[in-house]
Amino acid sequence: MEILAFGVQSDEKPLMEKAFAGHHEVRCLDVFLNEDTAPIAAGYEIISTSVNATLNNRVLQTLAAGGTHLIAQRSTGFNNIDLEVAERLGLTVARVSYYSPYAVAEFAWTLAMAVNRRIVRASNRTRDFDFRLDGLMGRDLRGRTVGVLGTGKIGEAFTRIAHGFGMKLLGWDIAENPACVELGMKYVDKERLFTDADLISLHVPLLPATEHLVGSAALRTMKDDAILVNSSRGGLIDTKALVSELREGRFTGVGLDVYEAEAGLFFLDKSLDVVEDDTLARLVTFPNVLVTSHQAYYTVDAVSQIIETTVANVLDYQAGRRSENVLVPSAPRS
């Protein structure tokens, strides 16, 4: 059987082909699944999608009509999939419920340190042989307070690094993580976390309850010299409200690996296009803001785990097995 994989990056393709070897052939496409590309899947019982795929009602209808029966998404998040429609159409949907939490946690710290120590500005200067230190002063993190929203596997990994820096630990989640408590984390309500933290990092999923978790009210209560990092999902932050605060000269730094309107932008080369997203265009002009293109997960370790789990999801589906990765179950076609 040949499997169709959408949104496969060039670095990812050899890993994908190697992992599927001996099981199935895999056809890798660099285009993302959306309403325009969905017809390509006609005749493929099994497809694999990336985190930036659009799996709304129209796309799912097209997939089902073309004979697709399993959607194996190569990500933990699934807010891009209309699960109710998928279930109604009899589609099976699986995801990757776990991969290396260190990839994302380490990258979140990379963003935090980069904006704190003005690394991008310093690098740009030295390329022009400008070796002044004016405007490059950062702060020690030891003894300062970090606020971690979401203390699951990634949040815990982030917290362990913060503990290594010698920071005071504040956490917010629906349930306390004993490992974080053992490190000295104090769980507080999110209002206090926003008020007290010098550095805030987001590690919660995007759900209706967490959409714009960091909105105008939260942003206003944060310290003027706070650092904000988001390596989870763009919709956790009200970006327009963030831009308004940045225009007031607030925050030491903001590091964003995700953006709430990233679909159709991230993972693509838009360097020769006119970007019509005024909010993003304004956001990247601030000297204290660093935006990267959803690459926190992008290590050989994490991507390999994601692909291996995707292969396992395909094999489970064909064998009629159901794992924790299945979001919408359905029996395989004969």
Confirm whether 294 is a catalytic residue: yes
Burial, 122: exposed, middle or buried (Cβ in 10 Å; 0-12, 13-18, 19+)? middle
Q: Distance between CA atoms of 294 and 119, rounded to whole angstroms?
A: 19
Q: Which residues on adjacent β-strands are paired with residue 172?
A: 149
Q: Which of 272, 267, 323, 292 is nearest to 10 (CA)?
A: 267
Q: Distance between CA atoms of 253 and 129, rounded to whole angstroms?
A: 24
Confirm whether 212 is a catalytic residue: no
Residues 6+ apart with CB under 8 A from 334: none
Residue 221 backbone phi and psi in degrees, to 5: -85, -15
Q: Distance between CA atoms of 44 and 68, rounded to whole angstroms?
A: 5
Confirm whether 250 is a catalytic residue: no
Catalytic position from the list 69, 203, 250, 294: 294
Query: What value, to the nearest 5°, has the Cα angle with vertex 257 and ends 216 and 281?
Result: 65
Catalytic position from the list 74, 118, 233, 250: 233
Two tokens, residue 302: 């994490």
In one letter, which amino acid is 77?
Answer: G
Residues 6+ apart with CB under 8 A from 202: 149, 150, 213, 214, 229, 230, 231, 232, 236, 237
Q: What is the distance of C-alpha 178 from the center of its chain?
A: 25
Query: What value, to the nearest 5°, has the Cα angle with vertex 5 and ends 3 and 6?
Result: 150
Q: What is the distance of C-alpha 313 from the center of its chain?
A: 21
Q: 166 with 182: CB under 8 angstroms?
A: no
At 276, is the secondary structure helix, strand, or coil? coil
Residue 92 backbone phi and psi in degrees, to 5: -95, 135
Please report where in the chains the tokens 């967490």 appear, as a residue: 210
Catalytic residue IDs: 233, 262, 294
